[in-house]
Amino acid sequence: MGDSSAASASASAPAPSGKLSNLPQLHRYVTGHDSAGKAIVRNHGDFEWKPYDEDRLAFSVAYTTSEFPADLNNDADVAAHERLVAIEGEGQLGLVNPRGTVLRCVDFAPGYACGMHRTQSLDYGIVLEGHIDMVLDSGEVHPLKRGDVAIQRATQHQWVNRSTTEWARMMFVLQDCKPLTVAGVELKEDLGTNSGLPPSGN
């Protein structure tokens, strides 16, 4: 079986959670407090994945906040996240959550390149599995390996998995930012051509 067939096979039968890749399933633990003020895990479960771009890309939104600083009183942040995730199920959450943050894990299929895009946000991107190239619109290409971190500051960029056999995985924290002006031009979100996502609205 060739490389492309192997990649297709791993993506043809998604797990019940929607996971496409052969990478390990991830598990989320949300902490809180009991009635005595002691720390507890209030809920936990597998990451839920959503496929994009003909099953070559998968997103999992692990958590979101909708204000800064976040309000943890009476689990207000948890309720806001649960409302937003319910909306996200209807395809309404963009890459960035206005006035808040998004913790999103992304799996990239072998040979996959997302479109060049810009978010109006400050993003921390950490490579968890595999290798991936960060390509900038200036022509710069920076190969990233497991543990490397990209600090994306509202720049045009693209992620390219050069491997023909291995999936790559990144974890992103996307944080809304103020409008950015460079050389007298206000830069706005540009989702490119193959995101399949709605505008963030920020």
Cα 74 → chain centroid: 27
Whether residue 18 is contained in a domain is answered as no
pTM of the model: 0.89
Whether residue 195 is contained in a domain is answered as no
Whether residue 89 is contained in a domain is answered as yes
Whether residue 96 is contained in a domain is answered as yes
Q: What is the mean pLDDT of residues 66-93?
A: 87
Sign of the CA dihedral running 185, 189, 63, 161: negative
Tell me how many domains the chain contains.
Answer: 1
DSSP strand pairing (121-129 vs 149-153): antiparallel
CATH of the domain at 129: 2.60.120.10
* CA dist 158 → 135, 139, 148 (Å): 5, 11, 16
* Mean pLDDT of the chain, nearest integer: 90
Whether residue 148 is contained in a domain is answered as yes
Whether residue 40 is contained in a domain is answered as no
Structural tokens at position 91: 């395809």
SS3 62: strand
Dump pLDDT digits (tens) for 33-56: 999 999 999 999 999 999 999 999
Domain that holds residue 67: 52-187
pLDDT of 198 reads 86
Identify the residue with better confidence: 199 or 31. 31
Q: What share of the chain is helix, strand, coil (3-state, %, to 5)?
A: 15, 40, 45
Lowest-confidence pick of 141-150, 164-173, 188-197: 188-197
pLDDT of 6 reads 39
Q: What is the mean pLDDT of residues 67-79?
A: 96
Between CA 53 and CA 21 the distance in angstroms is: 14
- Residue 100 contacts residue 174 (beta carbons within 8 Å): no
* Beta bridge pairs of residue 45: 28
Dump pLDDT digits (tens) for 95-117: 999 999 999 999 999 999 999 99
Whether residue 26 is contained in a domain is answered as no
pLDDT of 11 reads 43
Between CA 86 and CA 34 the distance in angstroms is: 26
Q: Is 80 exceeded by the pLDDT of residue 67?
A: yes
Whether residue 34 is contained in a domain is answered as no
